[in-house]
Structure 1
């Protein structure tokens, strides 16, 4: 059975293959599609609603133990790519 993770936005639990892992590179939020990048990760549903909620509430900074404003541009670009396919 696949491990369960909690979406940082909606707080619902889901299998890790249903969520997108996000890591921090500098102050940029980077999608980790294969869940293999090093470092602390945060999990979010790959949907516009959960992504927008997580960014607007600043939950990535808390989950990733980061300070300051984080750049969600790479993450938003990845979500647009997912939505187009």
Structure 2
């Protein structure tokens, strides 16, 4: 029975592959030909869906253009505080 337990342990290479796979992010680009076509709104809707699936979501920068519906979608999402850089 002890040998059976040893056989189910992952190999070091399998563990490393799992760690490397988990650490890679994914970039999604929301493309639109003009202002006001819904890029930001669609992105925020997708963020809420992914967050409900357990994905860690943070907003790096958001411009809502004063649209109330878009601003509502920002609620509940974590934000990265921008750094002030003098140049």
TM-score tier (shorter): under 0.3
Larger helix fraction of residues: 2
Higher RCO (CA < 8 A, seq sep 6+): 1
What is the TM-score normalised by the length of structure 1? 0.24
Structure-2-length-normalised TM-score:
0.24
